[in-house]
Amino acid sequence: MSEAQTATSQTLNFQAEVKQLLHLMIHSLYSNREIFLRELVSNASDACDKLRFEALDNGALYENDSELKIRIGFDAEAKTITIADNGIGMSRDEAIAHLGTIAKSGTREFFGKLTGDQQKDANLIGQFGVGFYSAFLVADRVTVLTRRAGLPAGEGVKWECSMAGDEAGAYTVEQIDKPGRGTEITLHLREGQDDLLSSWKLKSLIRKYSDHIVQPIVMKKEEWNEEQSKQVPTDEDETVNQASALWSRSKNDITDDEYKAFYKHVAHDFDEPLAWTHSRVEGRHEYTNLLYVPKNAPFDLWDRNARHGIKLYVKRVFIMDDAEKLMPTYLRFIRGVVDSADLPLNVSREILQESKDIDTIRAGCTKKVLTMLESLANSEDEADKEKYAIFWKAFGKVLKEGVGEDFANKEKIAGLLRFASTQLDSADEVASLADYIGRMKEGQDKIYYVTAETFNAAKNSPHLEVFRKKGIEVLLLSDRVDEWVTGNLSEFDGKPLVSVAKGGLDLGALEDEAEKKEAEKAADEFKDLLDRMKASLGERVKDVKVTLRLTDSPACLVADEHDLGMNLARILKAAGQEAPVSKPILEINPSHPAVLRLQYEDKNFDDWAAVLFDQALLAEGGTLDDPATFVKRINQLMMAMSGN
């Protein structure tokens, strides 16, 4: 951070990411310039909520002014719009941190996804959250006057930034006197924004985007002046918005547009929500919840320690905006509010950790969300099916975590899961476990799956050969989290889940007697070969067996029934975790020419056995410990076969 400093003033440069975001935002979001007011009013509302919460323990923070409100005004001659609140305010350090920094995980990934296509980038920028910076959509200079509640009047802060000319990207911070706490933001409008300088226009934007804000948004009342032949402001205030908690109103009184507008406020999201559920629970525990599923995944979705978005209220008094205890980790993408009638107003994070009331609310909210997702997933309506497909693409991998985290709802979550399968042979995850069971062949009593590091590795796995021959569907699992799912989900609807890469494969009624007899006969015929191969491969294998699971490949590797799967072992190793040491079983195809040749091979037997093992390891998705020797063996065998 470069800086030039005087006794009271400091000039600082924006983070490089902020400069980049501002440039992209001004060009990509300009057609949605109206959102600047929504974003700034939302921030002002949050500041008021935070003051009310901190004042629960320290009433002096109100400074004899407990009527929280947001004031909006304009000056047509100076071409400015002002948004002011008497909320918590900011100290000097907070102003620099909040206004000059994007402190979000996923920042680098966000910029990497930008395409240069303004329409696509607009969605990404909105998804990332524009907040305060949306001011620069309509202003080329922004002045912020702020003082944190509880600090003396002399510790006010003036923050100013111009995005015009040579000064673009730098801002100044200086200490000022500010008698009243809170924040006042003045937008010095750029050319072409004069239509915003009217009471009617600003009021219409407030009613369109911010009607649900809990605090009153006030403006000066206007009256018609005959002499001037125009509306002129008076000294009287009027409240422009409804200023009532939207979630406390009856569902029948709330329009879809109001629900969507509230989502954008509560989630600070640019896009509309995918779905929502709103309910009031009465009885031993009384609370209201309004919970939303976003359309897009936030950039910190994979940061399990990030604070996430359920706002907790008690009797409509804001308590905290990231009450992670209200939603299990696998539903960390859910946004919304919970308003309890039972919790104490001075509830803290520590109290939430132990509260039985919170456990009840959490269980109730979780069921509401899962039921909402079920109704989308199982709907006959094409629009709902499309919504679920969008949801699954954005959040499916996270939902899968719930199979092992939420025992009480395991079956419900399992019913919501979607997988790729050999039925379509595409990477699209559209097959549910219920769909799979509905398509089972007569006599089939198991759900078969294969796990691999990539979709293509799963789709082309040699373990599938007998299943493809018999037309038996197999789920193709290539997400790392799928190992977690199959490790925690042993059955669904009474049907066990079975890996096709485990030894002792039993196709039950799908195997005919002739096949079983053929397998027994082959095991006898190839007994000497199996013993020789096992001796040759030594410590690399647990056993060598004949298999009928292969039709095209000469050999494959399987894990013993109770051993760790080879894909899971690789995942653990890549994550730096110790995996239990278990050797694979090599299964050979007795009808393959390479295996038949090996029966009569003496001179190069060890090389052929090693090549068969290494090929099977590669086909299974593994990596060779010594690739150079593998290549050397292949070359030697090719030379020997050509007679050189």
At residue 38, does pLDDT exceed 90? no
Q: Which of 97-106, 345-354, 525-534 has the lowest mean pLDDT?
A: 97-106
- Residue (of 94, 243, 270) closest to 182 by Cα position: 94
- Whole-angstrom Cα distance, residue 180 to residue 357? 38
Tokens for 115? 């395409």
- Secondary element (H or E) of residue 368: helix 356-377
CB 267 within 8 A of CB 254: no
Rounded mean pLDDT, 306-327: 77
- Phi, psi (rounded to 5 degrees) for 44: -65, -40
Per-residue pLDDT tens for 197-235? 999 999 999 988 888 888 999 999 988 887 777 778 888
Give the whole-angstrom CA distance, residue 584 versus residue 560. 7
Give per-residue pLDDT as tens, 62-107: 999 999 999 999 999 999 999 999 999 999 999 988 886 654 545 5
pLDDT of 2 reads 40
pLDDT at position 3: 44
Q: What is d(CA 54, CA 585) in angstroms, rounded to the nearest whole number?
A: 63
What mean pLDDT do residues 363-378 have?
A: 95
Hey, what amino acid is at 428?
D
Write down the number of H helices and E strands in the chain.
22, 23
CA 225 to each of CA 172, 195, 202, 498, 585: distance values in angstroms, whole numbers, following the listed order:
41, 21, 20, 82, 93
CB 139 within 8 A of CB 287: no
Going by pLDDT thresholds of 50, 70 and 90, the confidence category of residue 109 is low
Q: Coil, strand or helix: which one is 213?
A: coil
Residue 402 has pLDDT above 90, yes or no: yes
Instruction: Choose between 174 and 6: higher pLDDT.
Output: 174
Beta-sheet pairing, 585-588 with 70-75: unpaired
Query: What would the 3-class secondary structure string for 427-470 be?
Result: CCCCECHHHHHHCCCCCCCCEEEEECCCHHHHHCCHHHHHHHHH
Token output for 312? 């907790």
- Give the lowest-confidence range in 95-104, 371-380, 393-402: 95-104
Better-predicted residue by pLDDT, 293 or 3: 293
Name the pLDDT band for 244 (thresholds 50, 70, 90): confident
Structure tokens at 183: 């924040």
Nearest alpha carbon to residue 56 among 350, 348, 289:
348
Alpha-carbon distance of 449 to 498, in angstroms, equals 6
Residue type, 401: E
- Predicted confidence at residue 494, as pLDDT, reads 93
3-state secondary structure of 73: strand
d(CA 440, CA 76): 72
Q: Which residues contact 365 (CB under 8 A, 6 or more apart)?
A: 289, 291, 310, 326, 327, 338
What pLDDT is stored for residue 6 in this prediction?
A: 45
Report yes or no: 177 and 153 within 8 Å, Cβ to Cβ: yes
Q: Cα-Cα-Cα-Cα dihedral of 298, 304, 305, 309, to 10°?
A: 40
Q: Report whether pLDDT(304) > 70.
A: no
CA 569 vs CA 242, 436, 564, 584, 585: distances in Å: 58, 27, 6, 11, 15
Helical axes 16-28 vs 118-128, angle rounded to 10°:
130
Task: Report yes or no: 518 and 562 within 8 Å, Cβ to Cβ.
Answer: no
Average pLDDT of the residues in 505-525:
76
Tell me the per-residue pLDDT of 151-193, one tens digit each, with 9 for 90 and over: 999 999 999 988 876 666 688 999 999 999 999 999 999 999 9
Amino acid found at 38: R
What pTM was computed for the model? 0.75
The confidence score (pLDDT) of residue 143 equals: 96
Q: What are phi and psi of 497, to 5 degrees?
A: -90, 125
Distances 94 to 59, 91, 147, 233, 425 between C-alpha atoms, Å: 22, 5, 10, 35, 53
- For residue 285, the model assigns a pLDDT of 84
What does pLDDT average to over the chain? Answer: 85
Distance (Å, whole) CA 247 – CA 265: 13
Question: 446: number of CA atoms within 13 Å, CB side?
Answer: 17
Burial 453-470 (b: 16+ CB within 10 A, else e): bebebbbebbbbbbbeee
**Is residue 491 helix, strand or coil?**
strand
Please give the full DSSP string across 528-551, using - where no structure is assigned: HHHHHHHHHHGGG-SEEEE-SS-S
Return the half-sphere exposure (C-beta side, CA atoms, 13 A cut-off) of residue 618.
Answer: 14
* Mean predicted confidence (pLDDT) in 21-37: 74
pLDDT at 621: 79
Residue 156's H or E segment, with its range, is strand 156-162
Structure tokens at 629: 């020797």
Interhelix angle 566-574/481-488, nearest 10 degrees:
130
Cα separations (Å) of 9 from 169, 172, 232? 17, 7, 37
Considering only CA atoms, which of 499, 519, 506 is closest in space to residue 588? 519
Residue 536 has pLDDT above 50, yes or no: yes
Report the C-alpha gap between 134 and 620 in whole angstroms.
Answer: 51
Which pLDDT tens digit goes with each residue over 251-279?
999 999 999 989 988 887 878 999 999 99
**Calpha distance 34→613 (Å, rounded):** 65
Give pLDDT, residue 31: 66
Percent of the chain with pLDDT over 90: 43
The pLDDT of 8-19, averaged and rounded, is 74
Burial of 364 (0-12, 13-18, 19+ CB in 10 A): middle
DSSP for 217-248 reads EEEEEEEEETTTTEEEEEEEEEE-S--S-GGG
pLDDT tens digits, residue range 569-601? 666 666 666 766 678 889 999 889 988 888 888
- The fraction of the chain above a pLDDT of 70, given in percent, is 85
Cα–Cα distance, 245 to 266 (Å, whole number): 12
